[in-house]
Structure 1
Amino acid sequence: MKNELQLLGKKIIEKKVQLAEEIHNERLKGISAREKEQLAVVEAGILEMRAEFIHLFGEALLKHANEEFVHESIAKWGKETGEAIFQLGVPLDEALKDTRFYRMFIWKAIREEVKKTEMTIDTVFDASSIIDALLDEAVYYFSLTFVEFHERMLNEAKKAFIEVSAPVVPVTKEIAILPLIGNVDAERAQFLMETTLTSAKKLQLSHLILDLSGVLTVDTMVADQIFKVVNALKLLGVETIITGIQPEISHTLVSIGIDFKSIQTKATLQQALEDLYD
């Protein structure tokens, strides 16, 4: 039976290029002409990737006693391919459709060899347990890596958004405006503190107008962070003026017990600037 498994492994390796092409051609049937044109640029690399994957299943049957080597190879392939497919911009659900085709065409090759050599049923079951388990493992590592890179991209995009969402805009030599738009979460609040203090010191400000007209909601956490920014700026000798507090937000602040009496406020940004220029 061991010799039969090794024979199956050799046949899969011998046919890896043919199987890779069959799988690839089958996958092309389900995509548009435009997508085919885009894939043509990297088609050689994808075929090589497919053939390498199929080769691993052949090795698994050849070296089924050396499970550690096989699992390490599958994990390596899954991680490298997960990253490569992510970089190509292929959605995860679309990429995972390949699983069915690998299973279908590898087993097609095995069936042909089993019929030709009249292998035992035990060999078929052993081959099934090896191939199906490894395919599931490859999908796990592939998906895990793909998701990790996707989350990394989202975090980088969020970081970039945060960095441009708290701009300190100089108006005159000593006056600047910080317009806030949207919701303020803990991460953005922390960045707000850091960038505001750095900019105030760098620009040598005497006044900073914090405009909240674009802020939809203010809760206890946001209000507390605003107080911290104002107090920290005061230590640097910068006076803060808050503008644009909406009626709904004003009502919310009162209801949760937030007192802005110690902070200078103006109805509008224009009013704050006019008062400073008087």
Structure 2
Amino acid sequence: MSSLSNLTNHFKENASLLAEQVVENVLNKIQLTISTEEHATAISMYTTFMSFIGDTLESGEKGVPTALIEWSKQNAEAIVVAEGKISDIIVRYPPTREVFAELVEELSSQFELSLRDSLYVFTRINEMLDISLDKTVIAYERLTEKYKKEMQKEMEELSSPIVPVREAIAVLPLMGKIDSNRADYLLEKVVPKVQQLNLDYLIVDFSGISTMDELTAHHIHQIGSVLRLLGIDLITTGINPKLALTSVKGGLDMENMKAYSSVKQALETI
């Protein structure tokens, strides 16, 4: 039996022990303390890692075990949930490579591997770690984008509440920045809610708006047009001179739209 065959059998027969050794050495190198659950998950993954190495070294099979991919994705998800940085994960890879380099060096001496075989084993391990790193970064980026969209949706819902104040009258107080995405949200989500409330008047209060561009003003004009088709009068309040100028440039027809300085004034007039 060749030296490489002896090594592959060692990986398979001692996968759990080797996994524990790698995990402990990596944690010691970066002086990191992790939870019992995370520790057990890491050992389980590296046990699979060691077994996979043992199964594929002689056959030359490429790829990585599914457990490694899932573990990489779970690490990315944990960082996103904790609102951490991807660097919190990336910094673990260099010391992990060091630990594996030391392990390969130790086993190469123990099983009298040739320099060529030692390099082959270390290269194969590095390939797997590279794939793990790539999957972690990709998963982090996708989850971060998904998380941002979900947060944006929640913020849009919270910042665009329809508040009934009298029979057939409601107020839509707008806060923060109105961009095209939020204007689209108002058109797609708020307008149907307005119709369900059987309103005659919707007062859109802009007093809490910090900025609005011309394209957004055009979207607001579209919302007003849709509401008029539904038999609902759109009344604006709290538009300052700067917003008024932007609104006119964006096609918002201020002359044919009822506008008041405050919600109180609008309610008194209706």
TM-score range normalised by the length of the shorter chain: 0.7 to 0.9
> AA paired with 1:143?
V
Structure 1 position 3 matched with structure 2 position 9 = no
Contact 1:79 1:142 in 2 (8 A): yes
1:47/1:196 CA distance change after superposition, 3 Å: closer
- Select which of 38, 42, 48 maps to 1:45: 38
Gaps of 5+ in 2: none
Residue 169 of structure 2 contacts residue 199 of structure 2 at CA under 8 Å; is this kept in 1?
Answer: yes
Structure 2 match to 1:207: 201
Aligned to 1:262: 256
| 1:84 CA displacement | 4.9
Higher relative helix content? 1
Look up the match of 2:245: 251
1-side partners of 2:248 and 2:41: how far apart? Answer: 65
Partners of 1:113 and 1:256 in 2: how far apart?
72
Q: Quick one: structure 1 residues 202 and 81, their matched pair in 2 at CA, closer, same or farther if it must change by over 3 Å?
A: same
Secondary structure (helix, strand or coil) at the match of 1:154 reads helix
The structure-2 alpha-carbon separation of the partners of 1:190 and 1:202, relative to structure 1 and needing over 3 Å to count, comes to same
1:235 aligns with 2:238: no
Q: Which amino acid aligns with 2:76?
A: G
Residue by residue over 1:106-156, the C-alpha shift from the partner in whole angstroms, topping out at 9 and shown as x without a partner, is: 221221222233321111111121111111111111221222222222211
Query: Is residue 15 of structure 1 aligned with residue 18 of structure 2?
Result: yes
- Which runs of no fewer than 5 residues in structure 1 stay unpaired? 31-35
Partners of 2:160 and 2:174 within 8 A in 1 = yes
Partner secondary structure for residue 260 of structure 1: coil
Give the direction of change, closer, same or farther, for the CA distance of 1:108–1:47 in structure 2 (3 Å limit): farther
Shift of 1:185: 2.2
Structure 2 equivalent of residue 33 of structure 1: none
Asked if 1 retains the 8 angstrom alpha-carbon contact of 2:12 and 2:50, the reply is: no
| Separation of aligned partners in 2, 1:99 and 1:57 | 17
Q: CA RMSD in A?
A: 2.6
Amino acid of the structure 1 residue aligned with 2:20: V
TM-score by length of 2: 0.85
Closer, same or farther: CA 177–268 of 1 in aligned 2, 3 Å: same
Cα deviation for residue 240 of structure 1 reads 1.3
Contact persistence 2:72–2:135 (CA under 8 A): yes
- Cα deviation 1:46-80 (Å, max 9, x = unaligned): 24324522541452244132525636554344334
Q: Which moved more, 1:214-223 or 1:253-262?
A: 253-262
Q: Note the C-alpha offset of 1:196.
A: 3.1
3-state SS of 2:177 partner? coil
Give, in whole Å, the separation in 1 of the partners of 2:110 and 2:6: 12
Q: Distance in 2 between matches of 1:171 and 1:260?
A: 24
Contact 1:175 1:205 in 2 (8 A): yes
What is the Cα deviation at residue 168 of structure 1? 1.0
Inter-CA distance 46–148: structure 2 relative to 1 (3 Å threshold): farther
Per the alignment, do residues 251 and 234 of structure 1 end up closer, same or farther by CA in structure 2, a change over 3 Å counting? Answer: closer
Deviation readout 1:8-52 (Å, 9 max, x if unpaired): 63487242222222323443x25xxxxx5xx4xx32432432452
Distance, in Å, in 1 between the alignment partners of 2:83 and 2:220 is 40
The residue identity in structure 2 corresponding to 1:249 is L
Does the alignment pair 1:118 with 2:121? no
The separation in 1 between residues aligned to 2:165 and 2:72, in whole angstroms, is 53
Cα 1:173–1:246 change in 2 (3 A) is: same
